[in-house]
Amino acid sequence: MALQALQSSGVAFRKILSHFPEELSLAFAYGSGVYRQAGPSSNQKNAMLDFVFTVDDPVAWHSKNLKKNWNHYSFLKVLGAKVITTVQNNYGAGVYYNPLIMCDGKLIKYGVISTSILIDDLLNWNNLYIAGRLQKPVKIIAMNENVTLRSALDKNLKSAVTAAFLMLPESFSEEDLFIAIAGLSYSGDFRMVVGEDKTKVLNIVKPNIVHFRELYGNILQKNPQVVYKIQQGRLEIDKSPEGQFTQLMTLPKTLQQQINQIMDPPGKNRDVEETLLQVAHDPDCGEVVRLGLSAIVRPSSMRQSTKGVFTAGMKKSLIYSSLKLHKMWKGWLRKTS
C-alpha cells in the first residue's frame, strides 16, 4: 500500500508505545515532532510528539490504560472506561485525546479512536479529522493485518487526490498538488483562524515533498485521468465536464452529500448524481468542492476542540492553547520581520 513506515526514530517511537496497552490495529506518529516543518515549528528539538492509537475495543483498551496510566486522564477517569468511550465515540470527531503527557522523557499527545469509526471516516469523510491526518505523511509504528482498514487507508489517499484535482487547473506542479491535498482537512477549520499558524499547510509540504511523493507517487502513476511527468515534477489532468463528473462521482459519500446540499435549491430535492452533473459543468466546480469540504471540517473541528476541554481538563487545555497561540505569534513575527 502507499502508506510508508519510515525507519528513522522507529525505536524511540516503539519505546513510547510500550507504555500503553498492546491491542492496537494501527498506531502512528505525526506532526512537527516527526517530520521537519518550516516556519515556527522548524526548531523541533523539544517538539511535542503526536500519536494516534486505533483500537478495536475502546472500552477494553481504556480499562487497561486507566490501570497503567491513570494520571493521563482528566476528571472523566473517575467515571470509568465506558463513559470515556461514550465521550470518545459520540462527541467531536470520534477521537479521545490526552495531551501534555510526559512519556519516556518526551512530551507527547495521544488520541484514541475506534477502528470502525476510523474506517468509516477514511471511506466517507464524515469528519475528515483523523482521515485528514492520514492524507499527510505519518510515521506508522504498528499496524495489524486488518484488510478492511488497509483498504480504507488506501482509498482515503485516492479520494484526497481526486478532491485536489477538482480544485486545481489543467496543468500544475507536484508541489501545487501536495499543497492542495495537505489543505483539504484545514478547509474551514476554525483553528486556522485562532491558534494555528496561517502558513501551516505550506510549512508542512515544502520540507516534505519527498515524503508526499512516496505517499502518492504510485497512485498518481496508476491514475488514468492524469499525465504524471515525474522528471519535470508536473501533472496534467482532464478538466472536461465528463472528466470532472467522473471525479465527482468517486468522491467520498459525505462530501457528495454536502455538495448536493450547497447546490440543491430549496424544494427541488434533486438526487446527488444530478447535482454532481451540474457541478461538473460549472466553471466554479473547484470552489463548490472547497465549500463542501468546509461544511465537513468546520463543525467537526469546533466540536473536537470543545470536547478537548473535558478530555484534557481545563488546566491542560489552557496550557495547550497557549502553546498553539505562542507558535502562531512566532510565525507572525517571523513573517513581519
The pLDDT of residue 316 is: 52
* Residue 172 CB coordination number (10 Å): 17
Kindly state whether residue 126 falls inside one of the protein's structural domains.
yes
Q: What average pLDDT does the structure give for the chain? A: 86
Buried/exposed 223-251: b ≥16 CB within 10 Å, e otherwise:
bebbebeeeeeebebbbeeebbbbbbeeb
Domain total in the chain: 1
Kindly state whether residue 239 falls inside one of the protein's structural domains.
yes
Residue 323 has pLDDT above 70, yes or no: no
216: enclosing H helix or E strand: helix 209-222
Kindly state whether residue 178 falls inside one of the protein's structural domains.
yes
Kindly state whether residue 278 falls inside one of the protein's structural domains.
yes
- Work out the average pLDDT over 78-97: 93
Kindly state whether residue 11 falls inside one of the protein's structural domains.
no
The pLDDT of residue 329 is: 40
Residue 94 has pLDDT above 50, yes or no: yes
Kindly state whether residue 4 falls inside one of the protein's structural domains.
no
Q: Which domain holds residue 95?
A: 21-37+44-334
Kindly state whether residue 3 falls inside one of the protein's structural domains.
no
pLDDT digit string, tens, across residues 249-288:
999 999 999 999 999 877 677 899 999 999 999 999 999 9
The pLDDT of residue 334 is: 47
Kindly state whether residue 9 falls inside one of the protein's structural domains.
no
